[in-house]
């Protein structure tokens, strides 16, 4: 995509996000979700990765995911417009389903090497889910009832049955690495956007909120919190953007290693940055009516999404890119998805 063309697409997404962001949890209603999703679909972002070669690079898609994460949005961009189309493109089978999302294990990690319950993640407006198994087999599954997660903004539904579904294709080893790398980078990029936006919100609050006749941002303790948070955000931004660059320029093994490093970094840094912002906001951030907990929920769930830091670090330490992090035994179901 030409720079000017990408700028127009990014600005259109930014304008959409400003119009359809939710200001508090009470605004998350079926009607508003449907309206926002329809408006997002009109942007045509689901076509960016369906063609070969794709219309948008992985770096551009990661930047769009980062932009989407900056606002509390109820729309499905990652699942239905970025991740599922990429999986179909790698399968060379774009007509398998009209609007799928991706299926994950019940704990929201990559599906493991054994049969387990699946969920359709980020499934608003989806008509099915694609499950990429550890051996490269990709199956299509239907959608069941909604599943509650801590992330109030994102729709998740159960996958009925044993999760077997119809086989729609098989990924080769390199394409499987490309798929894992792309998924990790896109998810990490959205978390970076959420963390950066929340640190900016807390910084602005520190300028406006006054105690003892002075803005709280003039107090050294608050300055240290925000400075540390900014460093954390910059660190995970660098890691995720470098990983996105690797998707476009490096072989699959190197790209997968960079993607794992980025996700491990973001899992830690984004959570710590948001925690710092929560401290700056103080008690008001703990209220249902404030937007802070929507960012916190998204980042906490995202830090467990696809692969946790505990999954990724041992694999990176082994230095064997072909070993998938999701092949490790899954931990007990995290509280965030119960």
Map 124-186 to HEC letters: CCCCEEEEECCCCEEEEECCCCECCCCCCCCCEEECCCCCCCEEEEECCHHHHHHHHHHHHHH
Radius of gyration of the chain (CA): 19
How many structural domains compose the chain?
1
Residue 286 lies inside a defined structural domain of this protein: yes
Mean pLDDT, to the nearest integer, of 197-225?
Answer: 95
| Domain presence at residue 27 | no
Segment 137-147 mean pLDDT: 93
Distance CA(158)–CA(117), nearest Å, equals 8
- Classify residue 204: in a domain, yes or no: yes
Residue written as token pair 């790209």: 255
> Which range (41-45, 157-161, 284-288, 322-326) has the least confidence?
322-326
Domain range for 284 is 174-333
Q: Is the residue at 225 inside a domain?
A: yes
Structure tokens given for 112: 């493991």
- Closest by CA to 140, choosing from 101, 175, 86, 186, is 101
This prediction's pTM: 0.92
**Nearest residue to 321 via CA among 258, 249, 246:** 258
* pLDDT band of 162, cuts 50, 70, 90: low
Q: Is residue 287 very low, low, confident or very high in pLDDT (cuts 50, 70, 90)? A: very high
Mean pLDDT value across residues 259-267: 97
pLDDT tier, 322 (very low <50, low <70, confident <90, very high otherwise):
very low
Q: Residue 150 falls within a domain, yes or no?
A: no
Tens digits of per-residue pLDDT, 164-207?
688 999 999 999 999 999 999 999 999 999 999 999 999 999 99
pLDDT score at 125: 85
pLDDT at 292: 97
Asked whether residue 142 is assigned to any structural domain, the reply reads no
Tokens 């493109």: give the residue: 89
Secondary structure (3-state) at 227: helix
Report long-range pairs for 91-99 (Cβ below 8 Å, ≥24 apart). 91/138, 91/168, 91/169, 91/170, 91/171, 92/52, 92/169, 93/168, 93/169, 94/50, 96/130, 96/140, 96/168, 96/169, 97/127, 97/128, 97/130, 97/140, 98/127, 99/46, 99/125, 99/126, 99/127, 99/128
CATH number assigned to the domain comprising residue 230 = 1.20.140.10
pLDDT tens-digit profile of 49-89?
888 788 999 999 999 999 999 999 999 999 999 999 999 99
Residue 167 buriedness (CB in 10 A; 0-12 / 13-18 / 19+): exposed
Quick check: is 207 in a domain? yes
Place of tokens 């320029």: 249
Classify strands 128-132 and 100-105 as parallel, antiparallel or unpaired: parallel
Q: Is the predicted pLDDT of residue 115 greater than 80, yes or no? A: no
Q: Is the pLDDT score of 334 beyond 80?
A: no
Contact 90, 178 (CB under 8 A): yes
Q: How many beta carbons lie within 10 A of that of residue 333, not counting itself?
A: 13
At residue 320, the pLDDT reads 54
Rounded percentage of the chain residues whose pLDDT exceeds 90: 83
59 occurs within a structural domain: no
């Amino acid at each position: 995509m030409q720079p000017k063309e990408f700028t127009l697409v990014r600005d259109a997404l930014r304008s959409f996000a400003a119009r359809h962001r939710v200001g508090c949890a009470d605004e998350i209603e079926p009607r508003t979700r449907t309206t926002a999703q329809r408006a997002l679909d009109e942007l045509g972002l689901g076509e960016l990765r369906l063609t070969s070669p794709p219309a948008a690079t992985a770096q551009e898609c990661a930047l769009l995911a980062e932009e989407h994460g900056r606002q509390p949005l109820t729309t499905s961009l990652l699942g239905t417009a970025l991740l599922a189309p990429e999986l179909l493109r790698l399968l060379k089978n774009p007509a398998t389903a009209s609007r799928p999302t991706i299926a994950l294990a019940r704990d929201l990690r990559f599906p493991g090497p054994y049969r387990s319950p699946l969920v359709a993640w980020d499934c608003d407006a989806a008509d099915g889910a694609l499950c990429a198994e550890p051996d490269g087999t990709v199956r299509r599954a239907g959608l069941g009832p909604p599943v509650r997660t801590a992330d109030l903004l994102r729709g998740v539904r159960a996958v009925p049955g044993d999760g077997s579904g119809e086989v729609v294709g098989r990924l080769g080893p390199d394409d499987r690495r490309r798929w894992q790398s792309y998924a990790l980078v896109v998810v990490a990029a959205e978390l970076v956007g959420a963390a950066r936006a929340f640190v900016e919100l807390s910084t602005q609050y520190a300028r406006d909120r006054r105690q003892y006749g002075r803005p709280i941002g003039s107090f050294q303790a608050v300055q240290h919190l925000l400075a540390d948070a900014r460093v954390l955000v910059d660190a995970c931004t660098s890691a995720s953007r470098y990983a996105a660059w690797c998707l476009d320029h490096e072989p699959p093994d190197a790209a997968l290693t960079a993607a794992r490093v980025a996700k491990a970094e973001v899992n830690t840094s984004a959570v710590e940055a948001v925690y710092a912002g929560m401290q700056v906001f103080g008690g008001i951030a703990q209220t249902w009516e404030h937007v802070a907990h929507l960012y916190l929920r998204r980042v906490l769930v995202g830090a467990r999404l696809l692969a946790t830091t505990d999954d990724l670090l041992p694999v990176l330490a082994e230095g064997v890119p072909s070993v998938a992090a999701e092949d490790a035994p899954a931990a007990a179901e995290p509280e965030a998805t119960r």
